[in-house]
Homo-oligomer: A and B are copies of this chain.
């Protein structure tokens, strides 16, 4: 399988910027100040592992007209100069006394003087990636500036993916699917879950993933009870239900899906749980069409899960540069699904004595309906070592 090209053409960044600028003009915003990795990369193409270090803040200002302006640590200036941006302002960070604040103040002071509105990400699923004290100092130096929440404005655009973005997500989903197809070869009874996690990560890399930032799972006799704990050294045993859920990346885009396996023949309760989740996912695939709301897709899956779903926050979400991003397949999300959204369908349920099961697939919504990006899980809970 041939990998798509890395990065994006400058025209794609220009188009993203133009779309956001049109929305900014309608909303009366003079610009956006962005501080988080996905947002900065979306408009600039600046892609680096350096965000892993919390030491340095990075800023991108998207004015209502013209190209974005980068205000970044000197260590990133060479890489930023390789993007489509022209105006790159840097300082020798870290400088705790002034980590970009005077550069930002200089850039934004004219907006403040005109009492204009600056958009920030203040809403659900966002945070401000700079010291809170620096933010307060920045605002204090920008008397007259109005601050607006630009979360909805920006999310609306980011939820709908370009064909180039979809190609990257499809590529990492295919890598993930091949990795899950190899699980039967790397799993063995007696293997500590910790070692299986390591083997899974190695397999995903061998299949072509750049990285596996997210891997969770569980394995317990008859069914797992928790899906967010780190792996233990408990050995896999006959009778376990095993789940692995991975967010692997390629060129900065995630897949996010899971697979369940029975170690030896499973009990009826686990078989039935898997069957129900598989059918709930089918219902989600059928419901996820342009024009449907997120709530409708949620309810289509919930109707199959029934009361075993319990008090679940959501049954899927957007996917892209983040492992999880808007919209949410939840009762409270009325977002209308549109063509080229990439979504996870993630039904879950409880069964037996506090056991849970989670199933997950990734789709792209096309005009004619949902297309799977992941290789569909088999309808029946797969069994590893059945003949043992």
* Chain A contacts to B: CB under 8 angstroms: 6, 47-50, 52-55, 73-76, 78-79, 82, 92-97, 99, 120-133, 136, 149, 151, 194, 197-198, 201-202, 205-206, 208-216, 225-230, 232-233, 247, 252, 311-314, 317, 322-325, 328, 330, 332
State whether A228 touches B75 (Cβ < 8 A).
yes
Q: For residue A172, give the distance in angstroms from its CB to the closest CB of chain B.
A: 13
Partner of A96, one of B123, B194, B208: B123
With a CB–CB cut-off of 8 A, which chain B residues contact A53? Answer: 214, 322-324
Bound CA span A149–B325, Å: 30
Closest to A127 in B: B129
With a CB–CB cut-off of 8 A, which chain B residues contact A312? Answer: 92
Closest to A197 in B: B210
With a CB–CB cut-off of 8 A, which chain B residues contact A132? Answer: 120-122, 126-128
State whether A48 touches B230 (Cβ < 8 A).
yes
State whether A213 touches B213 (Cβ < 8 A).
yes
State whether B99 touches A124 (Cβ < 8 A).
yes
Beyond contacts A49-B228, A55-B124: 18 other A-B pairs, Cβ-Cβ < 8 A, are A49-B216, A50-B228, A52-B213, A54-B127, A54-B325, A55-B317, A55-B328, A94-B124, A94-B125, A96-B124, A126-B132, A127-B129, A133-B151, A194-B210, A197-B210, A210-B230, A211-B212, A213-B213
In the complex, 21 of the A-B residue pairs with CB atoms within 8 angstroms, ordered by the A residue number, are A6-B232, A47-B230, A48-B229, A49-B216, A52-B213, A54-B125, A54-B126, A54-B324, A55-B124, A55-B125, A55-B324, A79-B226, A96-B124, A122-B131, A122-B133, A126-B131, A128-B132, A131-B151, A198-B208, A202-B205, A213-B213
Bound CA span A37–B131, Å: 15
With a CB–CB cut-off of 8 A, which chain B residues contact A317? Answer: 55
State whether A311 touches B92 (Cβ < 8 A).
yes
Beyond A54-B126, A314-B94, A324-B54, whether A79 also contacts B131 by CB under 8 A is no
Bound CA span A74–B212, Å: 25
Q: For residue A149, give the distance in angstroms from its CB to the closest CB of chain B.
A: 6
Partner of A79, one of B76, B228, B328: B228
Q: For residue A226, give the distance in angstroms from its CB to the closest CB of chain B.
A: 5
Closest to A82 in B: B229
Closest to A128 in B: B132
Bound CA span A211–B49, Å: 14
Bound CA span A125–B127, Å: 15
State whether A128 touches B127 (Cβ < 8 A).
yes
Bound CA span A97–B332, Å: 9
With a CB–CB cut-off of 8 A, which chain B residues contact A95? Answer: 313, 332
State whether A247 touches B202 (Cβ < 8 A).
no
Beyond A131-B127, A132-B122, whether A52 also contacts B247 by CB under 8 A is yes
Bound CA span A22–B64, Å: 50
Bound CA span A150–B252, Å: 34
Bound CA span A121–B232, Å: 32
State whether A216 touches B48 (Cβ < 8 A).
yes
